[in-house]
Amino acid sequence: SGYETVRERFIGLYRNENNPEAVELDRLSNQDTDFSNAIGALKFEIELQPGEKKEIVINLGIIAKTEFSDKKKSVVERFQNVENVAQSFVAVKQSWEKILSSVKVTTPDRNTNIFLNYWTPYQARVAFDIGRVASFYYWGISRGFGFRDTAQDVLAVSISDPEKARERILLLARQMFSSGRVFHHFYKDGQGETTRHCDDPLWFIFAVTEYLKETGDMEIVNRVEPFVDQKSGTILDHLKAVLQFVKNNLGAHHLPVFGRGDWNDTLDYIGGDDGGESVWGGMFYVVMLNDLIELLSVLQETITRQEAEKLCNMIRDSINKNCWDGDWFIRAFGDNGKKIGSKSNKYGKIFLNPQAWAVLGNVAEKGKLQKAMASARHHLDTEFGPKICVPAFREIDPAIGLVTRCVAGKKENGAVFYHPTTWAIQAECLLGHGDIAYQYYRKLLPNSIDSDRFQTEPYVYPQYITSDEHPTAGMASHSWQTGTAAWMYRVAIDYMLGVRATYQGLLIDPVIPSHWPEFSMERIYRGTRYMIHVVNPDHVERGIKEIVVDGRKVKTAVLAISNRKICSVDVVMG
């Protein structure tokens, strides 16, 4: 028996997995490693008599450092017993079945079914559990939890494991200052680093409102949690603190001061020391403020709601007045009001995010929103999906930032970036474009590109695909290190299949490809399993002709909250 931990020692020089040197020479180093490309190659010598059967148990696990000395012996001994291993394996299977059975879909597309029922929620849950804690191969350091990443991950579990979502919201609350600022990264409660990113605090609104619509757990808004600066307040107080952050972080155009980035961390020097202004950030603020306004209405917090409405309208008006470039919305204002993401620029003339979030925030009249998304399709779409911006930057610009130092066609510099494409799919659904939304969705499935070209796991969403602005177009990178899975999962369920939670009940609003004749979904919502069957006899992309709930026609697309274990819903589109 033996083992190897370093890929290069196992495969050898000038070889590959077809002829590894360690197998050929029957030589494993039996050495641990804390560097290089780590692998786990195990060798066992087994002798079997005719008809004999033996079982081998391989344990791979983690024990917390603080508990290692006390538990290392008992844990290892426990799993040397084959019966204990079998019982634990059953428990693991049951745990995943509980997670994966919370939503089940059956569509005419087998590939969509496989990803929405298995691979995508699996990746989303893995990201929630461990993907945000450390990222060694990406950064080379342990980076802690990203606040915005952690907030968005609530999407991954709010249906299947609402208790975990609740815990995560309370954790996020403890990383906030009473001014509404938050740690950009945090390591333990009250320990982290602050930056000048303009978007971080508002993701807290997103996490709280998504959780509340899913669960109806209004008690959480009165839960008291400490701020970082020694004060304490309810979750509602934390939300109000975010509102104050918004008021104090607007620039000359009443748009967010860019600081050291917004969602796009590589736009880290827009406007130099003054920070410039983020147009996407303004749209994001509108979306999040709308979510907060809706919650405040439910809570009958009239004064704060009116304050939020006034602020939201001011930002929306500025976007309409200052940010339209004729065919699309610009990305930012830099030094001396210079436009970024404009026809007047040499590089980065159009960005995907502002076009999609203009729709998500409904910041303009519909014709302008339609035109913005049409421009995105025309200028950004490729055989692999839409690029994050075009043309890619090919000259370093210190007044824009790191994106101009990235290789053209990779990362945020003109790649097909998965995360913002989920928002483009959502935007197309909101505009009623089921065929276009589905085309984007299909293009970005991880197995849609030949694996020799794709090069990462064909079942995992990567961070990006290299675009046609680079010779290695179609190559994926940074698999797992992305928030894409949670967003793609929920955008597909909530907006494409169109079954999403509201404070009053489930909203039925499918926006599907016109060639689909039908689809079905099982979905847990507030303790009830909804069995939903949608037929599309007229082959429309959007529109509902009839909804029947438990044998009775209803006049509204928002289904009243049921007190039954199972609720049957039949929908006719048209």
524 falls within a domain: yes
Q: Pick from 535, 525, 527, 534: which is nearest to 559 by CA?
A: 525
Q: How far apart are CA 522 and CA 533, in angstroms?
A: 9
Of 13, 36, 54, the position where a domain reaches its end is: 54
Residue with tokens 């008006």: 317
Q: Contact 277/341 with Cβ under 8 angstroms?
A: no
Spatial CB neighbours of 330, under 8 Å, sequence gap ≥ 6: 279, 323, 324, 339, 340, 341, 342, 354
Whole-angstrom Cα distance, residue 121 to residue 321?
Answer: 41
Closest-CA residue to 289 (of 261, 265, 319) = 319
Q: Which of these three, 54, 77, 97, is where a domain ends?
A: 54
Give the pLDDT score at 272. Answer: 73
Q: Can you give the pLDDT at residue 136? A: 43
- Model pLDDT, residue 64: 86
Give a yes or no: residue 381 inside a domain: no
Write out the H or E segment, with its range, that includes residue 554. strand 552-554
Q: Is 27 domain-assigned?
A: yes
Q: What is the pLDDT of residue 131?
A: 67
User: Could you say which of 161, 217, 265, 435 is catalytic?
Assistant: 265
CA gap 512, 547 in Å, rounded: 17
Token pair 């799919």 in the structure block, residue = 425
Residue 320 within a domain = no
> Contact 213/266 with Cβ under 8 angstroms?
no
Residue 380, in any domain of the structure: no
Per-residue pLDDT of the chain (574 residues; tens, 9 = 90+): 899 999 999 999 999 889 999 999 999 999 999 888 889 999 999 999 999 998 888 888 888 888 999 998 998 889 888 899 999 999 999 999 999 999 999 999 999 999 999 999 999 999 998 866 554 444 444 567 889 999 999 998 999 999 999 999 999 999 999 999 999 988 878 888 898 899 999 999 999 999 999 999 999 999 999 999 989 999 999 999 999 999 999 999 999 999 888 999 999 989 777 779 999 999 999 999 999 999 999 999 999 999 999 999 999 999 999 999 999 999 999 988 899 999 999 999 999 999 999 999 999 999 999 999 999 999 999 999 999 999 999 999 999 999 999 999 999 999 999 999 999 999 999 999 999 999 999 999 999 999 999 999 999 999 999 999 999 999 999 988 899 999 999 999 999 999 999 999 999 999 999 999 999 999 999 999 999 999 999 999 999 999 999 999 999 999 999 999 999 999 999 9
Give the end of a domain, one of 33, 54, 75: 54
Predicted local distance difference test score (pLDDT) of residue 143: 62
Structural domain containing residue 17: 1-54
Q: Is 70 a catalytic residue?
A: no
25 part of a folded domain: yes
pLDDT for the residue 139: 47
Please indicate, yes or no, if residue 121 is contained in any of the structural domains: no
Any idea what the CATH number is for the domain that residue 568 is in?
2.60.420.10
Domain count, the chain: 2
Structure confidence at residue 260 (pLDDT)? 86
Domain assignment present for residue 549? The answer is yes
